Amino acid sequence: MAKIVTKSKYPPIYRQHIFLPYFTHFACHNRVKNHLGKKDFSNLRAKKKKNIQRRRKVKAVCSRKEELAAAAAMTVSPSLSVARNGRVLIVGATGFIGRFVAEASLAAGRPTYVLVRPGPLHPSKADTVKSFKHKGAIILHGLISDKTLMEKILREHEIETVISAVGGATILDQIALVEAIAAVGTVKRFLPSEFGHDVDRADPVEPGLTMYEEKRKVRRWVEKSGVAYTYICCNSIASWPYFDNTHPSEVLPPLDRFQIYGDGTVKAYFVDGTDIGKFTIKTVDDIRTINKNIHFRPPSNLYDINGLASLWEKKIGRTLPRITITENHLLALAAENRIPESIVASFTHDIFIKGCQVNFAVEGPRDVEVGTLYPGDSFRTLDECFNDFLLKLKDNLEPVHEENVSTKNAVVESRAVTPTCA
Active site residues: 215
> 180-213: string of b/e by CB count within 10 Å (b at 16+)?
bbbebeebebbbbbbbbbbbeebebbebbbebbe
Handedness of CA 105, 106, 110, 113 (dihedral sign): positive
Cα 92 from chain centroid (whole Å)? 16
d(Cα 259, Cα 221) in Å, to the nearest integer?
Answer: 39
Report residue 326: phi and psi, to 5°.
Answer: -75, 165
- In this structure, how many other beta carbons lie within 10 angstroms of the beta carbon of residue 240? 20
Please give the C-alpha separations between residue 87 and each of 147, 274, 279, in angstroms, as whole numbers.
19, 21, 17
Question: 89: helix, coil or strand?
Answer: strand
d(Cα 130, Cα 87) in Å, to the nearest integer?
Answer: 20
Q: What share of the chain is helix, strand, coil (3-state, %, to 5)?
A: 50, 15, 40
Contact predicate 227/188, CB 8 Å: no
Cα 316 from chain centroid (whole Å)? 33
d(Cα 253, Cα 239) in Å, to the nearest integer?
Answer: 7
Ordered alpha helix ranges (H), 231-292: 273-283
d(Cα 33, Cα 39) in Å, to the nearest integer?
Answer: 9
Contact predicate 404/309, CB 8 Å: no
Cα 111 from chain centroid (whole Å)? 15
Ordered alpha helix ranges (H), 198-337: 208-225, 273-283, 305-316, 327-335
340 upstream amide cis, omega within 30 of 0: yes
- In this structure, how many other beta carbons lie within 10 angstroms of the beta carbon of residue 339? 15
Region of 405 (left: φ > 0; alpha: ψ -120 to 50; beta: rest) is: beta
d(Cα 121, Cα 375) in Å, to the nearest integer?
Answer: 40
